[in-house]
Amino acid sequence: MDFGEYKDNHLASYIMVNEFKSRIFAKTVKMGGVGYVASYPENRGQGDINRLMKEIILELHDQNYAISNLVPFSETFYRRYGYENAIYEKMYQIEPAYLRFFKPIKEGKVIRGKWQDLILRDAVIKLYQDKLDQNDQRNTVNRENWWWNRLDTYYPGRSICVYFDKNKQPQGYMFYRIVERNFRAEEMYYQAPQAAKDLLSIIASHSSSDLKYYVKMPEDSLLGEFFPEQEGITVKTIPYMMTRIIDVKQVLEGLPLVNNKKLR
């Protein structure tokens, strides 16, 4: 959905809202992803974005959305419309010397490649969907194929690593790039400890005192537990997305209530 205001027949301010499906535990709900918020410099301060945001919230409610997410340019600004920090990430910075703890793989294997590799692509999608189907997610996007492809376009030059166990089953994956002497693992997921260790060994294979190493993980990650010495890692929890509840009833219905009665 596109929302805009025109001045003298020219688009002056604009907001895009994309429809996603998100998981609240076992319940799939509609989520409105707000993005591409923009106004021409000469038009700022005229109240356009304020009016558009109010219109968006009403439209989302009318179209039966449960929640709305966005990456804020200003947390204070979006709090005016009921958004609050709800999704956090952990950022691990690893000193190069502490990668020595992770040795080459002895069991299973890691295959490295690009998103165009169908074997890797199918393995990543399967792992992601398996995690969703555990019904323990609180506000996680059900990524469709177009969204995966968009991520690959949005982050050019990304490599993928998938760890397969001795039974040739995928157990973990990692997306990473090296940008301006920074090694950035921008997404990592693992189902088994061995997968985490072997993905970390791939990072170790790039070990260089000239690089800085960063690994982005979900808020509840315990990746640091795989390091025998944690002095060489720095962990920060940072806000990632803000959320506004559009329909409280839908959200509450997704919670695993003990009595399982309908809400009125």
* CATH code of the domain covering residue 173: 3.40.630.30
* Same domain, residue pair 213 and 188: yes
What's the pLDDT band for 201 if we cut at 50, 70, 90?
very high
Burial class, 97, CB count within 10 angstroms (exposed 0-12 / middle 13-18 / buried 19+): exposed
Torsion of CA 62, 67, 73, 75, to 10 degrees: 110
The Cα–Cα gap between 254 and 164 comes to 33
Domain presence at residue 206:
yes
The tally of domains found in the chain comes to 2
Shared-domain flag, residues 121 and 180: yes
Residue 28 falls within a domain, yes or no? yes
User: Could you tell me if 175 and 132 lie in one domain?
Assistant: yes
Residue 263, in any domain of the structure: no
| pLDDT surpassing 90 at residue 263 | no
What b/e readout covers 144-167, taking b as 16+ CB neighbours within 10 angstroms? Answer: eeeeeeeebeebeebebbbbbbee
| Cα gap 125→18, rounded to integer Å | 21
- Split at pLDDT 50, 70, 90, the class of 124 is very high
Considering the domain architecture, whether residues 107 and 197 belong to the same structural domain is answered as yes
- Per residue in 148-189, pLDDT tens? 998 888 888 899 999 999 999 999 999 999 998 999 999 999
* Confidence band of 104 (pLDDT split at 50, 70, 90): confident
Whole-number Å distance between alpha carbons of 224 and 226? 5
What dihedral angle (degrees, nearest 10) is formed by the CA atoms of 197, 203, 205, 207?
A: -130
* 171 and 62 share one domain: no
pLDDT band at 89 (very low <50, low <70, confident <90, very high): very high
**198 in Cβ contact with 110 (< 8 Å):** yes
Provide the token pair at 164: 């397969």
**Reported pTM:** 0.87
In a domain, 115, yes or no: yes
The verdict on residue 122 lying in a domain is yes
> Which of 43, 37, 44, 31 lies closest to 2 in space, CA to CA?
37
Tell me whether residue 147 is in a domain. yes
Residues 33-56: tens digit of each pLDDT = 999 998 888 777 788 899 999 999
Establish if 233 belongs to a structural domain: yes
Q: Residue 177: which domain range?
A: 89-239
Residues 107 and 145 in one domain: yes
